[in-house]
Chains A and B, each alone.
Chain A
Amino acid sequence: MTQEISSLMDGELEAHEAERAIRGCCANSDAAQKWQEYHLISDVMRGGRPHPSGTAQRVCRALESEPAIVARPRRVIDTTFGRVALAAAASVATIGVVGWIGTQGGQGPVPTATVAKSPAAVQPVVLQRSPAATEPAPDVQDYLTAHRQIPSAELYRTVTNRGTAAPAAAR
């Protein structure tokens, strides 16, 4: 642990190692004391004024009180006939792939929806339908775009193709 703290202070740790070292410091009073001593030494060597005591404790308290972003698992609610998955986002760049599945009356196997794992994977909708579903299924991303008014470049290929566009009167 001592070596880890030393490496941490020297900036030699990768991000995940640094996080582990800091957490380790907080869990171990000896390590926290060591952290404190190293900082004192460091400050004195640089000719600065030593930190007031209790730095390690304050860092630990700050870590504990820091609210983490909760990456809440996407909830996909199955129903008897339908299953839908939503990849919601607030910007174009993070709007992922959304699949919508509709089946009729439980005929055929219940299909699965596909959700993008990566923000980079902004692709046309991945759609899997049972043979019983005869109509094209709606795309959740269409609703998201309409609601947020944040269109994607993908949509504009559609616009270009549908022939309603006119030469720009750009500002």
Chain B
Amino acid sequence: MKVEGSPGGARRILPALALGFACSAHAAPNDPVAWLARAAQASRQTTYEGVYVHTNGDRTSTVRVSHTNAAGEEHERIEPLDGDAMEIVRRNEEMYCRFPDAKTVRLDPRITNRFFPAILAASAETIAASYDVKLGKTERVLGYECQWIRLDPRDQLRYSQRLCSELASGLILRAKVLNGLKQVIEQYTFTDLRIGPQATRADLKSIFRARSRQWLTDGQPRDETATVDTGWTVAKAPAGFQKVAELKRLLPGRGEPVTQIVLTDGLASMSVFVEPAATPRVAEASSEDGTTAFHARPMGEQLVTVLGEVPLATAQQVARSVSRRP
């Protein structure tokens, strides 16, 4: 962990300077939902730079992230450190994904994408409707004092979550997803982090920016995110899941656009896809790995596919409640 200045003092003061809301959040130190709201706000407002490790099932990846909020605009740069080189530069909801090997810039408004630590996609109150929110222990994580927030689902339709929120800033330093047996099936954790203004704007600019002026632009993902009436609906969305997007997009190998309906409860999300079946009689099929469940179900000449960070039974329930909009 890199810490500038004198240990302890500066590190504690800088987040407070960076966050005007810190004092107000401290006003309700024992309210778990207020802690959740503070964590969500911190992920949007805080200036930070670091590297986190993400483990889902038996897969692990490492990602560098830099984030700031200037003049009311969020700026973020995300760089996976494993595999092919790429980066995502985000300004509010606009994402610019650059692929140096393919010399391509992809334009894609953020819908479902949630990069750690910005993993809360709805208000604290909305999330609290689906999860019992409690405060756990405080712990020293990465040199910071951290408050654990425990979220246990009010039903069997989603997983438990544990968020470790840094005391001074509220930023989430570690997050875990637990299955019904309370086993950790997914984890995010910073391994290196600087909070505060020392994470400069230079870290937020594309490292490919100069070169990418001559690259190709793929604007199709952006164009496809326009909300449309697809004619399909999830008749019985599980309690707490709200539709946040309905669109048509072209997936590789498809002759025509595929319907995509996105549901979220603020922490977990699912995408429901509907398309003409490639083969007339494909039986239902399921799989899950880590937190990701997949279920495909033929429906007449259509194929309904649900993929999301939910238990398999939830994905199956959703797949079976897809119908034509009346």
CB neighbours of A170 from chain B (8 A): 96, 98, 105, 206, 209, 212-213, 215, 217
Segment of B26-34, B106-114, B191-199, B235-243 engaged in the interface with chain A: B106-114
A128 to chain B, nearest CB (A): 14
Q: Is the CB of B216 within 8 A of A167?
A: yes
Tell whether A34 is near chain B: CB-to-CB under 8 Å.
no
CB neighbours of B283 from chain A (8 A): 79-82
Q: Is the CB of A92 within 8 A of B86?
A: yes
Tell whether A131 is near chain B: CB-to-CB under 8 Å.
no
Q: Is the CB of B96 within 8 A of A171?
A: yes
Q: Given the complex of chains A and B, what is the CA–CA distance between A34 and B19 in angstroms?
A: 49
CB neighbours of B108 from chain A (8 A): 149, 151
CB neighbours of B269 from chain A (8 A): 147
Tell whether B308 is near chain A: CB-to-CB under 8 Å.
yes
Tell whether A45 is near chain B: CB-to-CB under 8 Å.
no
B321 to chain A, nearest CB (A): 18
Tell whether A90 is near chain B: CB-to-CB under 8 Å.
yes
With A74-B287, A84-B285: A147-B112 Cβ-Cβ less than 8 Å? yes
Q: Given the complex of chains A and B, what is the CA–CA distance between A170 and B183 in angstroms?
A: 44
Tell me the A90-149 residues at the B interface (CB within 8 Å): 90-94, 96, 102-105, 119-120, 122, 133-140, 142-144, 146-149
Tell whether B325 is near chain A: CB-to-CB under 8 Å.
no
Q: Is the CB of A75 within 8 A of B213?
A: no
- Residue of B82, B176, B217, B292 near A169 (CB, 8 A) is B217
- Residue of B113, B252, B275 near A149 (CB, 8 A) is B113
Q: Given the complex of chains A and B, what is the CA–CA distance between A69 and B80 in angstroms?
A: 21
B316 to chain A, nearest CB (A): 10
Q: Is the CB of A119 within 8 A of B308?
A: no
Tell whether B296 is near chain A: CB-to-CB under 8 Å.
yes
Q: Given the complex of chains A and B, what is the CA–CA distance between A157 and B99 in angstroms?
A: 10
With A70-B185, A122-B83, A164-B218: A90-B61 Cβ-Cβ less than 8 Å? yes
A79 to chain B, nearest CB (A): 4
Q: Is the CB of A159 within 8 A of B102?
A: yes
Q: Is the CB of B59 within 8 A of A96?
A: yes
Q: Is the CB of A149 within 8 A of B95?
A: yes
Q: Is the CB of A119 within 8 A of B61?
A: yes
Tell me the B107-125 residues at the A interface (CB within 8 Å): 108, 110-113
B307 to chain A, nearest CB (A): 5
Q: Is the CB of A82 within 8 A of B216?
A: no
Q: Given the complex of chains A and B, what is the CA–CA distance between A134 and B278 in angstroms?
A: 8
CB neighbours of B58 from chain A (8 A): 71-72
**A137 and chain B: residue at smallest CB distance:** B278
**B262 and chain A: residue at smallest CB distance:** A147
Q: Is the CB of B271 within 8 A of A75?
A: no
Q: Is the CB of A160 within 8 A of B60?
A: no
Q: Given the complex of chains A and B, what is the CA–CA distance between A165 and B284 in angstroms?
A: 36
Tell whether A152 is near chain B: CB-to-CB under 8 Å.
yes
CB neighbours of B183 from chain A (8 A): 67, 70, 72
Q: Is the CB of B106 within 8 A of A89?
A: no
Tell whether B142 is near chain A: CB-to-CB under 8 Å.
no
With A77-B285, A86-B288, A157-B102: A104-B280 Cβ-Cβ less than 8 Å? yes
13 new A-B contacts, CB < 8 A, other than A69-B184, A86-B294, A153-B102, are A68-B184, A93-B82, A94-B56, A94-B59, A137-B278, A139-B251, A139-B253, A140-B287, A140-B294, A146-B249, A146-B251, A147-B269, A160-B102
A-to-B contact residues, CB < 8 Å: 67-72, 74-77, 79-94, 96, 102-105, 119-120, 122, 133-140, 142-144, 146-160, 164-171
Pairs A–B under 8 Å by Cβ, sample size 6 = A72-B290, A77-B285, A138-B275, A138-B296, A146-B273, A164-B220
B-to-A contact residues, CB < 8 Å: 54-63, 80-86, 89, 91, 95-99, 101-106, 108, 110-113, 176, 179, 183-187, 206, 209, 212-221, 249, 251-253, 258, 260, 262, 269-271, 273, 275, 278-292, 294, 296, 303, 305, 307-308, 312
